[in-house]
Chains A and B, each alone.
Chain A
């Protein structure tokens, strides 16, 4: 197994973007914040961390009390942090692509409201969008990005394509084609299939809805090119050597399996994977005393005394260490060249700057 020299990545002036990916709950946000803090403090780089949905107490420690898309300096640290505001980012994209009057109409449209806050993938798309904006402004030595809490790490890479598929979809083309042909007349289209569609929609949803839908579709239509272009541009930035992907996984079967999928996807997409962070790894200070011997000794002592209990604690810990080592080996067997860093499980959650420093020091 190759060791992951995290400092070599953070200190490399050619690296401008670090993306932390991984499946849900493995420690992406924590790792992103810890890496950014280390880059700022140990390597003196002007760094911003873009967090997504951080745990409440971590957000407080980072001074992220307002969700306003603005980088703010973290108290007592040379680091800037911000929290993604998905809806606001979506609104900004609309504003840059349409006249203010038109934008106002779009914002009022119920379909826009629903989609800008709940469309599956909006958060991923908007995280990429924000990353693209930050990079284009070129104000930072290093941008560290967290990725949204999704079940699968792949969602982050798939979001732009999914949005593209949606925008290119038959349905949207059909609707927008007729919208372009005269707005309200769209549902008068008398092809057999469309008649059936229109009838069904009218019957179930009512006519007001059709007006809203038509407005939404023509709005999307006017922003088509812009949307796609931006997503493609950011995607190319992700393939550039200025970017380093850091894959985060917990030493659990599901998380490691996801990490392996993700690593293959990065290979396919020719995206630069810097290394794997195995987070929340358990280690023992007395590894030579294995679980069985510890259990046997506890049994000899009659279970009740303090030492017997401590030996039980050690036994459980050793079992976990063995299990985690096996699980991690699944990844390293498949990707022997991907460097791995281990971050020990802290006894309690990580929600302050000191805790982030401790994680940074573990690298």
Chain B
């Protein structure tokens, strides 16, 4: 599997496994000693929960014994703005006043686009950061992004900035971010389940991102189950088989198991149909299995192994 970009944006319908997949991808990319940053931007401490850590500060944090090369960061728009003001305008004091007044909260409330510019701006800064020798600090940055319903607006920073400011640093800042997001350095991956609504949202998001000239990477089918049945079974066959296995062969058992099998087949057929719909989108597609014990660290590492670059 190849992961050509440097900034990997992971989106998908709510609850499909964005956070899980982003974490697995970050672990996969860090394998072999590459430094990788895994970022969340929605203020939910999803990464801390996933890795069973204390809430993350606004700082790039090591993952301890789990992985030496992976760093975690929860970006907060308020902190990002203060950092920005201080860095570019040496306005530390004004920043503190702003915060005390609730101005930052206010500004990001009435102009949600501003919040997105701050968040993506920080992601860009980390992605392009270099050391003294001019080498990139991070081999890759993986972003656990907002859901598909908001992803177009979130990534289309210039449009949002244009609504707010015709001139000035916000505008040029957003142009820099937009250039990165539209370059081959970026790849947006769409996570989905084999269910109708997530697949529909994947299709819609692909169209939206394509129209915005933002490069889409892979489609990642999460929590997939292998097909168990290949065709319908007759009651006579079932009855024979059950007898052979030493199980009851009364009518209720036979019809009951048969109806379960048929419901499973119906589901399986629907999933096949959804796979075909996804194949139609002509994007490289990866399937990750449903973890029967839920997502724990070994489970994550198992998913990471399946995503590992080769």
Interface string of B151-183 (1 = CB under 8 A from A): 001000000000111111110000000000000
A205 to B89, CA, bound (A): 13
Tell me the residues in window 190-222 of chain A with beta carbons closer than 8 Å to chain B beta carbons: 193, 196-197, 199-200, 203-206, 208-209, 213, 216
Select A307's contact among B14, B112, B245, beta carbons within 8 Å: B245
Chain-A contact segment, one of B27-35, B72-80, B251-259: B251-259
Say whether A115 faces chain B, with CB atoms less than 8 Å apart.
yes
Query: Do B196 and A349 have beta carbons less than 8 Å apart?
Result: yes
Query: Do B228 and A312 have beta carbons less than 8 Å apart?
Result: yes
Interfacial chain A residues near B197, Cβ < 8 Å: 25, 55, 349
Query: Do B256 and A114 have beta carbons less than 8 Å apart?
Result: no
Interfacial chain B residues near A170, Cβ < 8 Å: 101-102
A213 to B110, CA, bound (A): 9
A169 to B108, CA, bound (A): 14
Select B196's contact among A55, A110, A206, beta carbons within 8 Å: A55
Select B166's contact among A208, A300, A305, A316, beta carbons within 8 Å: A208
B228 to chain A, nearest CB (A): 5
Say whether, besides A200-B94, A306-B233, A169 and B112 are in contact (CB < 8 Å). Answer: no
Interface string of A298-333 (1 = CB under 8 A from B): 101100011111111110110100000000000000
Summed over the interface, the residue pairs from A and B with CB atoms below 8 Å come to a total of 175
Chain-B contact segment, one of A37-45, A60-68, A85-93, A283-291: A283-291
Say whether, besides A196-B97, A284-B260, A348-B270, A169 and B106 are in contact (CB < 8 Å). Answer: yes
Interface string of B44-70 (1 = CB under 8 A from A): 100000000000000000000000000
Say whether B17 faces chain A, with CB atoms less than 8 Å apart.
no
Say whether A102 faces chain B, with CB atoms less than 8 Å apart.
no
A287 to chain B, nearest CB (A): 9
Query: Do B94 and A309 have beta carbons less than 8 Å apart?
Result: no
A115 to B89, CA, bound (A): 28
- The secondary-structure label for the interface of chain A is helix
A119 to B266, CA, bound (A): 41
Which residue of the partner chain A has the closest CB to B167? A206
A56 to B166, CA, bound (A): 37
Say whether, besides A286-B252, A313-B228, A347-B266, A114 and B110 are in contact (CB < 8 Å). Answer: yes
Query: Do B237 and A307 have beta carbons less than 8 Å apart?
Result: yes
Which residue of the partner chain B has the closest CB to A299? B245
Interface string of B86-97 (1 = CB under 8 A from A): 000101011101
Query: Do B260 and A297 have beta carbons less than 8 Å apart?
Result: no
B190 to chain A, nearest CB (A): 17
A164 to B41, CA, bound (A): 25
Say whether A57 faces chain B, with CB atoms less than 8 Å apart.
yes
A120 to chain B, nearest CB (A): 7
Say whether B246 faces chain A, with CB atoms less than 8 Å apart.
yes
B99 to chain A, nearest CB (A): 11
Interfacial chain A residues near B95, Cβ < 8 Å: 200
Interface string of A272-299 (1 = CB under 8 A from B): 0000000000001110010001000110
Interfacial chain A residues near B166, Cβ < 8 Å: 206, 208
Say whether B200 faces chain A, with CB atoms less than 8 Å apart.
yes
Say whether B185 faces chain A, with CB atoms less than 8 Å apart.
no
A300 to B105, CA, bound (A): 64
Interfacial chain A residues near B244, Cβ < 8 Å: 300-301, 307
Interfacial chain A residues near B212, Cβ < 8 Å: none
A317 to B256, CA, bound (A): 12
Interfacial chain A residues near B111, Cβ < 8 Å: 111, 114
Say whether B207 faces chain A, with CB atoms less than 8 Å apart.
no
- The secondary-structure label for the interface of chain B is helix
A284 to B252, CA, bound (A): 12
Query: Do B165 and A209 have beta carbons less than 8 Å apart?
Result: yes
Query: Do B263 and A193 have beta carbons less than 8 Å apart?
Result: no
Interfacial chain B residues near A305, Cβ < 8 Å: 241
Query: Do B101 and A193 have beta carbons less than 8 Å apart?
Result: yes
Query: Do A114 and B196 have beta carbons less than 8 Å apart?
Result: no
Say whether, besides A119-B109, A170-B102, A349 and B195 are in contact (CB < 8 Å). Answer: yes
A131 to chain B, nearest CB (A): 22
Query: Do B15 and A310 have beta carbons less than 8 Å apart?
Result: no
Interfacial chain A residues near B109, Cβ < 8 Å: 115, 119-120, 166
A170 to B94, CA, bound (A): 17
Query: Do B246 and A120 have beta carbons less than 8 Å apart?
Result: no
Interface string of A160-204 (1 = CB under 8 A from B): 000000100111101000000000000000000100110110011
Query: Do B168 and A206 have beta carbons less than 8 Å apart?
Result: yes
Which residue of the partner chain B has the closest CB to A313? B264
Say whether, besides A119-B112, A286-B256, A314-B257, A110 and B14 are in contact (CB < 8 Å). Answer: no
Which residue of the partner chain B has the closest CB to A298? B245
Say whether B280 faces chain A, with CB atoms less than 8 Å apart.
no
Query: Do A307 and B238 have beta carbons less than 8 Å apart?
Result: yes
Interfacial chain B residues near A312, Cβ < 8 Å: 228
Select A151's contact among B14, B164, B168, B233, beta carbons within 8 Å: B14
A24 to B266, CA, bound (A): 25
Query: Do B255 and A307 have beta carbons less than 8 Å apart?
Result: no
A205 to B111, CA, bound (A): 12
Query: Do A300 and B246 have beta carbons less than 8 Å apart?
Result: yes
Say whether B247 faces chain A, with CB atoms less than 8 Å apart.
yes
Can you name 26 A-B pairs with beta carbons within 8 Å? A24-B15, A57-B196, A114-B110, A114-B113, A119-B109, A169-B106, A170-B101, A171-B103, A196-B97, A196-B98, A197-B94, A197-B97, A203-B91, A205-B165, A206-B166, A285-B256, A285-B260, A289-B247, A298-B245, A300-B244, A307-B233, A307-B241, A309-B229, A310-B233, A314-B257, A347-B267
12 additional A-B residue pairs with CB within 8 Å, beyond A151-B44, A193-B101: A114-B163, A197-B101, A200-B98, A204-B168, A206-B168, A209-B164, A286-B253, A289-B247, A308-B241, A310-B258, A313-B261, A314-B257
